[in-house]
Structure 1
């Protein structure tokens, strides 16, 4: 049975119209770089989102749960965690720092890798309590702190990588110019030839944050994920069956995609990358 494409969210999950961020105009013809032209084309396809307004610690928890799994699997885990540990009068960091690991692991089991993730969540919660005193104090740091300091601080914590840190900056802080790189973003911009075929996640991020205007970076992240789910999938991008099926075909170099044979490889393994 084939998977249904993830639908466009009916609700702005990035903070709502009052959540911060900056409005952006999308005009591929006026783009200064190919990366901007790609994001502008996505702006013609998808919803315009604003960013910020989410609780920083909950965003951190949500992103950890999403590591190496899909939203379909991680969302129920997040909902179950909040139901068990996020009561109206509870501080989520305190609650997770004191959680029994086996109980937490069972609570988030739908997210996969639940033993490792439960350990990470408890350690991160203990760090937040020790360094900030509460989830609320961490939320204020993520929202109002210097972006570079916030990023460096988060990256110093075991279990928190660049994508997780950048998602906190974007979704909690509403910071312009932040383009988190997940597996979709990493694959697509190398496949298109926008970033070097052998670039790691940080290399792709550096290219995108340099070539995409700050006001469009957050939208570029979320819209690229949607595009990756609907069109430019890892194993069978739309262009394999029909060159006209992809709305970004004229901007793509198809690095590692071979419609004539139906073969798809990681861009780093493509002969063009040698």
Structure 2
């Protein structure tokens, strides 16, 4: 099993995280078998315990960019606004100058758009919940479907962002956020339809992966996408021994004979 990265994917505090539970015996679905294989390959941990508002901020910053780009922006944002005059982060962001905030998070890309989203989210959290602490209580204790609906009503917050908050801050089991890695991998595996959108992939995974394995499955799938199942050069192009999931993957959109790799959705149009 690989060592846990020093900087974990979710940004969660390792001390507030928990190890996933993997039961012995045969997997009930192919999706569960994939997650169990990843459990043999990677650290079996579900990250959690994050403050809901900070988790929301972090996930907005990570939209359409890499951790390498978003992490410096997150650190710079906390340094500038996290303890500003002892005002809470939500209040500081709600009152922040757009230009100043955008410049602070420039490394995350789309900084003008993200600055607008962060200011708007901060204002709504304060207006509707009173404080970041009360928002955090709502995320942790509210009915998950209601929390997700409320998060999706925030301008600039999509399904992946909402699900990350539910998982990493709300501590909800059975939530499998779908980012670009997850979307690609499970269509390429043939577990989700090749033309499935992010929400359709999420529905398949949350139905076929046991709730207690979803959190680990999300982070492990991202790591697998980075190490093995990349968008342009998946490991399977180098043969069966190169990928630990080769024998249970349909390799939709991957043609080893020619080295051609296309989005699985392209195969659905043939």
Q: TM-score range by the shorter chain?
A: over 0.9
Gaps of 5+ in 2: none
Tell me whether 1:203 sits opposite 2:204 in the alignment. Answer: no
SS at match of 2:45: coil
1:11, distance to aligned residue in structure 2 (A): 6.0
Report how many residues are paired. Answer: 265
CA distance in 1, matches of 2:181, 2:217: 12
CA contact (8 A) 1:15 1:50 kept: no
Q: Distance in 1 between matches of 2:136 and 2:51?
A: 6
SS at match of 1:130: helix
Q: Does 1:246 align with 2:235?
A: no
| Alpha-carbon distance in structure 2 between the residues aligned to 1:264 and 1:122 | 40
Deviation at 1:251, TM superposition (A): 1.0
Report matched runs for 1:102-113 at 5 Å: 102-113=99-110
Q: Which residue of 1 aligns with 2:225?
A: 228
Cα displacement (A) at 1:226: 0.2
**Separation in 1 of the partners of 2:4 and 2:116?**
32
Report the CA distance between 1:135 and its aligned residue: 1.1
Cα-to-partner distance string for 1:104-157 (whole Å, 9 max, x where unaligned): 000000000101110111111111111111111111111111111100000111
Contact 1:26 1:40 in 2 (8 A): no
SS in 2 for 1:47: coil
Which whole-Å CA distance do the structure 1 matches of 2:68 and 2:19 have between them?
A: 28
Which runs of structure 1 show a deviation greater than 6 angstroms over 4 or more consecutive aligned residues? none
| In 1: Cα distance, 2:160 partner to 2:120 partner | 18
Provide the TM-score with structure 2 as the length reference: 0.94
1:16, distance to aligned residue in structure 2 (A): 2.6
TM-score normalised over the length of structure 1: 0.93
Does the residue aligned with 2:117 lie in a helix, a strand or coil? helix
Q: Residue 77 of structure 2 is aligned with which of 78, 81, 100?
A: 81
